[in-house]
A and B are shown apart, each in its own frame.
Chain A
Amino acid sequence: MIRFIVRRLGLMLLMLSGLVVITFLVSNVAPSDPAALAAGPDATPDMIATIRHEYGLDRPLPVQFLRYVAGLARGDLGHSIVTGHAVATDLATFLPATLELVLLGMLIAVALGMPLGMWAAVRRDRAVDHVARIFAVSGMALPEFWIGLLLLLVFSGWLGWLPIGGQLSIADAPPAPITGMVLVDALLHGRLALFWAALRHAILPAVVISLPALASVVRVNRAEMIEVLHADYITAARAHGVSRARIVGILALKNAMLPTLAMIGLRFGWMLGSTVLVETVFDWPGIGLYAVNSAVSSDFKPVMGTTLIIGVLFMVANLLVDLAYGLLDPRVREAGE
């Protein structure tokens, strides 16, 4: 097991350095000149040259790369032109909101997807199954930004049941940050009304971000359940007169759950990716919206910083899934070694 973990960590370091190289190249082969951007539209060539020298942009590429890596090692991701803050500070401010959204989305995907997948598997080829399969395919095809807008239209615009966007209304002062996640902090402070207000803001974006994952959970859990329900041990249990509820809900689910949970772990990274869209639609103050706003204003440093942080989170999530899988399934562990 130790060898497995060490190997995985080594691979992750390798991938991380690859990602650093990629982000560096992307921001340096760009046709637009960062010095000219930072200097503003009215800058003279002299001013641009000064800024280029100041930022070290006139050095050879390898030197620039080393400085970039040295900066990263100190946690220096550069400065944002738009917010005027250090990118690392901005990311620390916006990351909790994103994590809150993604975790809530995962919760929805698992809580709804597993029972639906089970139900479809038990009622194979019946109406429920068809509905579940149609949903599983169409959930992947839904443009998240579009369905988000439609939900806003119906629930905020027409019905007026839910707020239009953001994390809290302007009238509600956010709770003093403990974790930075408004929902969690409101609970920790015992402010239930604020928690309720925050939940009403979070529900639509969380549902939208969960949709592709929900579709996958239904798909995988249904397939796994169908396979497991045909296994010999289930037939044996049935022959012994074990109740149907116990067979489906406990004996079969235990084995079908593992691939589903692994899948949702891997989905975590992809959900971080779709925050770029969902946070834009719902004005959710997370790193996705931060990256989009910066990208639209050609402010590279925040975009590259967000890419790096999402890459790291993505890799950590995949590593945890691998480790959990290796821990639970010795066959994986051996293959990994």
Chain B
Amino acid sequence: MRAAAARAPRGRSLRRLRFVAWVVGRNPPTMLGLGLVAVFLLLAAIGPWIVPDARDAVGAMHLGSKLLPPSWAHWFGTDEMGDDILTRVVLATRTSLWVGLTITGIAIVVGTPLGIAAGYFGGRVRSVIMRATDMFLCVPGLVLALAIVAALGPGILHGVVALAIVWWPGYVRLIEAKALPLRGEPFVDAARTMGSSDLRILLTHILPNCVSPLVVKASMDMGMAILAAASLGFIGLGAKPPAPEWGAMISTARSYMPDSWWYSLFPGLFIFLTVLGFNLLGDGLRDILDPRSARG
């Protein structure tokens, strides 16, 4: 009896999983996104063990092999220190994923409770939260982040802090818009009538209904946060050499253009493919999780 009861939901979740796999399989862009994200996660995980020479990421110098074009020995060529660009680009994957994850994570942790509170309680709570949010949204994020990093001083940690500060308002907006209409739903009223506390309603009724758009936005934002952090690196306010970071590598590579084209080509390609992967995945997730807003 108990076994049968346990099997039923498992069968359902298996069916659901098969359904998701079927939807994803029918959608080539989503497959591509998933594949790209998987590859970069793998690179971040096993990078140090598969690159030709991991010491190239910590400032090793090979003066005999400066700025060599791509070849069999150096697939992506070498940089001005003679370091293998493939090595540095692969090892920078971990930095970028960590940066993207941290920024998105902080933004979700800060933005979601505020958004839920604004949407659920409405009234004055909502006006205060939303006006404060608007203030951060009234200037393009990158510009405000630039100002914050300029004040804090350059460095990848400061870049992450600055981007997290400009990133959370997006989640407040998103979750507030989702939570606001839920307030008047019969199931919320019913829960309240049965004596549920506000906190319980928020956690068991409102929050679960906001998860789908949250997951979609988080996937997209992973990519956009990585791009923003690389942009700060390019400007010269992010990671400092010799630590490998895609944006900072391109920034250095600028001085060796147009002769050493490979130097800026490959780090940028890695940024593009990572961001593209997360964007396509987010797009596909939206089709699966949140079909009503999939328009366009």
Using CB atoms and an 8 Å cutoff, list the residues of chain A in contact with chain B. Answer: 11, 14-16, 18-19, 21-23, 26-27, 29-32, 133-134, 137-138, 140-147, 149-150, 152-153, 156-158, 219-220, 222-224, 227, 269-270, 272-274, 276-277, 280-281, 291-292, 294-296, 298, 300, 303-304, 306-307, 310-311, 314-315
The winner among B150, B224, B250 for most chain A CB atoms within 10 A is: B150
Using CB atoms and an 8 Å cutoff, list the residues of chain B in contact with chain A. Answer: 29, 131-132, 134-136, 138-144, 146-154, 223-224, 227, 230-231, 234-237, 247, 250, 253-254, 257-258, 261, 264-265, 267-268, 271-272, 275-276, 279-280, 283, 295-296
The winner among B143, B144, B151 for most chain A CB atoms within 10 A is: B143
Contact in complex: B139, A140 (CB < 8 Å)? no
Q: How far is the CA of A311 from the CA of B224 in the complex (A)?
A: 21
CB distance from A216 to the nearest CB of B (A): 10
Please give, as numbers and ranges, the residues of chain A lying within 8 Å of B146 by CB-CB distance: 276, 291-292, 295, 303, 307
Q: How far is the CA of A292 from the CA of B142 in the complex (A)?
A: 11
Please give, as numbers and ranges, the residues of chain B lying within 8 Å of A138 by CB-CB distance: 272, 276
CB distance from B17 to the nearest CB of A (A): 26
20 contacts between A and B (CB under 8 A): A14-B134, A21-B135, A22-B136, A30-B151, A30-B152, A32-B153, A133-B29, A140-B279, A143-B250, A143-B272, A145-B250, A150-B265, A153-B264, A220-B296, A224-B296, A273-B139, A277-B142, A296-B237, A307-B139, A310-B140
Contact in complex: B139, A303 (CB < 8 Å)? no
Contact in complex: A276, B258 (CB < 8 Å)? no
Name the one of B227, B257, B271 contacting A152, with C-beta atoms under 8 angstroms.
Answer: B257
Contact in complex: A277, B147 (CB < 8 Å)? no
Q: Which residue of A lies closest to B282 (CB)?
A: A137
Q: How far is the CA of A335 from the CA of B148 in the complex (A)?
A: 36
Contact in complex: B250, A15 (CB < 8 Å)? no
Q: How far is the CA of A317 from the CA of B136 in the complex (A)?
A: 16
Please give, as numbers and ranges, the residues of chain B lying within 8 Å of A152 by CB-CB distance: 257-258
Contact in complex: B150, A137 (CB < 8 Å)? no
Main secondary structure of the interface of A (DSSP, over half): helix
Contact in complex: B231, A145 (CB < 8 Å)? yes
Contact in complex: A18, B265 (CB < 8 Å)? no
Q: How far is the CA of A178 from the CA of B154 in the complex (A)?
A: 38
Contact in complex: A146, B268 (CB < 8 Å)? yes
The 4 closest A-B pairs by CB, nearest first: A273-B140, A223-B296, A157-B258, A18-B135
Q: How far is the CA of A29 from the CA of B147 in the complex (A)?
A: 12
CB distance from B224 to the nearest CB of A (A): 8
Contact in complex: B140, A137 (CB < 8 Å)? no
Please give, as numbers and ranges, the residues of chain A lying within 8 Å of B279 by CB-CB distance: 137, 140-141
Contact in complex: B147, A304 (CB < 8 Å)? yes
Q: Which residue of B lies closest to A271 (CB)?
A: B140
If the complex has contacts A149-B257, A296-B236, are A143 and B143 also in contact, measured as CB distance less than 8 A? no
Q: How far is the CA of A16 from the CA of B131 in the complex (A)?
A: 11
CB distance from B213 to the nearest CB of A (A): 18
Q: Which residue of A lies closest to B264 (CB)?
A: A149
CB distance from B88 to the nearest CB of A (A): 16
If the complex has contacts A18-B134, A141-B279, are A310 and B254 also in contact, measured as CB distance less than 8 A? no
CB distance from A150 to the nearest CB of B (A): 7
Please give, as numbers and ranges, the residues of chain A lying within 8 Å of B139 by CB-CB distance: 19, 273, 307, 310-311, 314
